[in-house]
Chain A
């Protein structure tokens, strides 16, 4: 059995998860990463996606996060999510609304840089939608 470490998932409204886990899969800005115990210290922003938490007892929980960042230390991992919900309670209307907003952002973007950023965000959201909806 893999060594356990402390994982915390925090959203501005509340502390969602605080427990000992075996591994966490984080949708990092530059690619997904799996965090195990004694990971080198990394700080990364995260893109909208699914966080998979494998708890010490071997159970898997999945959470949807919309951006934020992760602070990884050898002793534990803290995920500060802008908004986070369990996959079970994800509201499709909410997701659709966010995608709609992202589309508007793309349309409103004034300069190229902002536009690229908005488009990337939209792409991440649609990928997320694709990953979730058939489920």
Chain B
């Protein structure tokens, strides 16, 4: 049985841990707010982009085919998976959920006899996927030094992907990230970005069937627009991920703090019991000593 001193030390150490997890939770909460704001601020752009894209594909669709990024290569033999995860751990199942989704997808594709290539964004995804698919990872991008994710980061990733596509490196590209539903719920999501799934009809305040004039030609605008749209999709994924990571970290740290609290309670009870037992023992010794006289 542990001595009183051991128990005291144990309690002190759990208390210290609790303080750390508590602080991490608060940091995550503050960061979460900022990440959410960033994600919200980016929303108008991607929405408008979607609307404009829908309009223009309608215009182009009627007279010939769009650029290759949109129509694809006509095959689906080589798949590229872009897996976006967090840079840091200690955020519950966040990273492993995304990685698991990507891994299942990769296994399924391999079972169908397709070639799989993987680009990981974020250190944790690389660490997890390296175990099973180290031969398949063609590139990895770390955003560890990046304080706030800017559009430039997403653009750089998109450019890599597009360059690879233009070199005929793959046929289909799928983006894996975690959609931020709420603080306690992040849904790992797979989204195909190349060939771009034809956007649904423009909703709401669309052109209302107005005939646009295009300057320059619609095809030219489209070939400018599609790469940009890919950047936007990746940017959105990164922002959602950032918010999701912080949300996951917050609830993970909240749990840890609570567990540490429970543990302290249990240890304190054991400590008190032992102290009592010792006092009783000492009393008995004194009394029986006095009686013996």
Fill in one digit per residue for A80-112: 1 if any B CB lies within 8 Å of its CB, else 0: 101100000000000000000000000000000
Complex A-B: 11 CB contacts under 8 Å: A8-B44, A13-B41, A13-B151, A15-B41, A42-B212, A42-B214, A43-B55, A44-B215, A69-B225, A78-B48, A80-B52
Q: Mark B266-293, 1 if CB is under 8 A from A, else 0.
A: 0000000000000000000000000000
Q: What is the interface of chain A, defined by CB distance below 8 A to chain B?
A: 8, 10-15, 28-30, 40-45, 69, 71, 73-75, 78, 80, 82-83
Q: CB-CB contacts of B204-220 with A at 8 A, as 1s and 0s?
A: 01010011111110101
User: How many whole Å from B224's CB to the nearest CB in chain A?
Assistant: 5
Which A residues touch B256, using CB under 8 A?
none
Of B44, B52, B213, B232, which is within 8 A of A69 by CB?
A: B52
Asked if residues A12 and B56 are in contact (CB atoms below 8 Å), the reply is no
Q: Tell me the smallest distance from the CB of B36 to a CB of chain A, in Å.
A: 13
Q: CA of A12 to CA of B154 in the docked complex: distance in angstroms? A: 10
Q: Give the residues in chain B near A29, CB-CB below 8 Å.
A: 215-216
Closest to B208 in A: A73
- Once the chains bind, are B221 and A10 in contact (CB under 8 Å)? no
Contacts A10-B45, A13-B42 known; A82 to B207 CB distance under 8 Å? no
CB nearest to A74 among chain B residues: B210
Question: Which of B38, B41, B45 is in CB contact (< 8 Å) with A80?
Answer: B45
Q: B205 to chain A: which residues have CB within 8 Å? A: 75
Would you call B169 an interface residue if the criterion is a C-beta within 8 Å of the partner chain's C-beta atoms?
no
Q: Is B150 an interface residue (CB 8 A)?
A: yes
Given A14-B42, A45-B221, A82-B228: A73 and B213 interface contact (C-beta under 8 Å): no
- Whole-angstrom distance between the Cβ of A113 and the nearest chain B Cβ: 12
Q: How far is the CA of A14 from the CA of B45 in the complex (A)?
A: 7
Q: B151, A14: Cβ atoms under 8 Å? A: no
**Cα(A45)–Cα(B226), bound, Å:** 13
User: Chain B contact residues (Cβ within 8 angstroms of A): what range?
Assistant: 20 to 34
**Contact call B210/A10, Cβ cutoff below 8 A:** no
Main secondary structure of the interface of B (DSSP, over half): helix
- Supposing A30-B216, A73-B207 touch, asked if A13 and B150 sit within 8 A by C-beta, the answer is yes
Closest to B37 in A: A14
Chain B stretch 30-81: residues in CB contact (< 8 A) with chain A: 38, 41-42, 44-46, 48-49, 51-52, 55-56
| A30 lies within 8 A of B215 (CB) | yes
Task: Tell whether, in the assembled complex, residue A14 and residue B215 are in contact, meaning their CB atoms are under 8 Å apart.
Answer: no
Closest to B213 in A: A42
Q: Are B212 and A43 in contact (CB under 8 A)?
A: yes
**A83 and B155 alpha carbons, distance in the complex (Å):** 11
With A42-B213, A45-B216 as contacts: A15 and B44 at CB distance below 8 Å = yes
Nearest chain B CB to A47's CB is how many angstroms away? 11
Cβ of B180 under 8 Å from chain A: no
Bound Cα distance from A75 to B208, whole angstroms: 11
Do residues A43 and B216 form an inter-chain contact, with CB atoms below 8 A?
no
The answer to whether A43 touches B221 (Cβ under 8 A) is yes
Indicate if B235 sits at the interface (CB-CB under 8 A): yes
Q: B96 → chain A, closest Cβ, in Å?
A: 29
A28 proximity list for chain B (CB < 8 A): 215
Contacts of A82 in B (CB 8 A): 151, 228
A75 to B205 Cα, complex, angstroms: 10
The chain A residue with its CB closest to the CB of B43 is: A15
